[in-house]
């Protein structure tokens, strides 16, 4: 279902990607995505120098509306919201990045092993992929998040172990087309071990595809993190955009009118980050995925 971007990307498959192929110049889409990401990354990297206040310190009264001193007002304990959002770039992007690393590492290894060895190994691993793809995503995520408990690393782990299946499938297909090539046969004939062939010959062939999948997984992960944090299953002491929204929700932001500066900005930032990753990833996948090229 189209909820929180969790399973919807899975359902839609690569459709949006290939849809763009028709007459939309991919370069410009990718450029917009990259520009969005560059701005966010720069803001995150420069956070200590550009924030007006330390977001961990009470610098105003609780629930202050926007003013010259606090451009976006203050949160429930008098911390500057603008500074909190700028630091939030770090947490949200880091979680997106690391969760994608976990997912793509699992996905790449499984995809490569399945594609290279074929036979029952392939069959078994692909059944596993099927299982993960069919088990209802959000309920499983709720179960796992509640079981592991809310912490930075657990969130990464939960997202990572739930998002690897689609990349695994895409990478396996790529490996299948690679292994039919001559140089792999040659390496095999020369007595190279499977481990060596996978590392030296197959991995370079799938890396670029993994990169595209990685970026799509990151955009997914940012949305999932925000949803989990909002439901109170994230790490409430980390200043991510999701946790900013969580506090806004539990401290009555939409009743007291503070939502205009407390709820709108973090939501727009989440959308910008997700869109940035999505555009970049779609453009990359289009250029890199041989199956999408004719």
* Interactions with another protein, residue window 96-115 (CB under 8 A): none
Given 68, 119, 120, 134, the residue binding another protein (CB under 8 A): 134
Spatial separation of the C-alpha atoms in residues 30 and 27, rounded to whole Å: 5
Question: Closer to another protein at the Cβ: 3 or 185?
Answer: 3
Contact flag: residue 143 with another protein (CB under 8 A): yes
The verdict on 194 binding another protein (CB under 8 A) reads no
- Cβ proximity to another protein: between 74 and 108 the closer is 74
According to CB under 8 A, which one of 76, 105, 109, 211 is a site residue for another protein? 76
Q: The dihedral of CA 238, 241, 245, 248: what is its sign?
A: positive
Stretches 19-27, 89-97, 165-173, 184-192: which one binds another protein (CB under 8 A)? 19-27
Nearer to another protein, 192 or 263 (CB): 263
Q: Which two tokens stand for residue 76?
A: 């429930």
What contacts 118, CB < 8 A, 6 or more positions away? Answer: none
Q: Which of 256, 290, 291, 292 binds another protein (CB under 8 A)?
A: 256
Q: Which residues, listed in sequence order, are joined to residue 74 by a DSSP beta bridge?
A: 80
CA distance 274 to 267: 11
Task: Establish if 167 lies at the interface with another protein (CB under 8 A).
Answer: no
Q: To the nearest whole angstrom, how small is the minimum distance from the Cβ of residue 44 to another protein?
A: 18
Q: Which of 24, 42, 45, 121 touches another protein by CB under 8 A? A: 24
Answer for the pair 23, 263: CB distance below 8 angstroms, yes or no. no
* Binding of another protein by 255 (CB under 8 A): yes
Binder of another protein out of 39, 50, 127, 185 (CB under 8 A): 127
The residue (of 21 and 200) whose beta carbon lies closer to another protein is 21
What's the angle, vertex CA 168, arms to CA 162 and CA 174, rounded to 5? 160
Is the four-CA dihedral 268, 269, 270, 271 of positive or negative sign? positive
- DSSP structure string for 125-188: HHHHHHHHHHS-HHHHHHHHHHHH-S-HHHHHHHHHHHH-HHHHHHHHHHHHHHHTSHHHHHHH
CB of 47 to another protein, least distance (A): 19
17 three-class SS: helix
Least CB distance to another protein at residue 275 (A): 4
């Amino acid at each position: 279902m189209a909820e929180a971007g969790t399973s919807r990307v899975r359902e839609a498959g690569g459709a949006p990607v290939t849809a763009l192929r028709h007459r939309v110049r991919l370069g410009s889409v990718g450029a917009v995505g990259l520009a969005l990401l560059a701005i966010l990354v720069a803001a995150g990297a420069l956070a200590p120098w550009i924030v007006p206040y330390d977001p961990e310190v009470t610098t105003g009264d609780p629930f202050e509306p926007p003013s010259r001193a606090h451009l976006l007002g203050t949160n429930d304990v008098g911390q500057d919201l603008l500074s909190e959002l700028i630091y939030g770039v770090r947490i949200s992007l880091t979680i997106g990045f690391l969760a994608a690393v976990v997912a793509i590492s699992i996905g790449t290894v499984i995809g490569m092993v399945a594609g290279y060895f074929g036979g029952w190994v392939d069959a078994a691993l692909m059944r596993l992929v099927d299982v993960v793809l069919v088990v209802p995503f959000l309920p499983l995520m709720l179960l796992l998040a509640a079981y592991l408990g809310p912490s930075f690393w657990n969130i990464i782990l939960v997202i990572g172990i739930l998002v690897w299946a689609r990349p695994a499938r895409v990478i396996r297909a790529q490996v299948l087309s690679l292994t039919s090539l001559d140089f792999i046969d040659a390496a095999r004939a020369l007595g190279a071990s499977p481990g060596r062939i996978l590392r030296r010959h197959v991995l370079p062939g799938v890396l670029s595809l993994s990169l595209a999948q990685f970026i799509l997984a990151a955009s997914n992960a940012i949305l999932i993190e925000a949803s989990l944090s909002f439901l109170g299953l994230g790490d409430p002491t980390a200043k991510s955009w999701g946790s900013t929204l969580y506090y806004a929700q539990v401290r009555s932001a939409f009743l007291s009118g503070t939502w205009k500066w407390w709820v709108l900005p973090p939501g727009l930032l989440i959308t910008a980050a997700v869109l940035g990753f999505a555009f970049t990833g779609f453009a990359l996948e289009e250029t890199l995925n041989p199956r999408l090229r004719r």
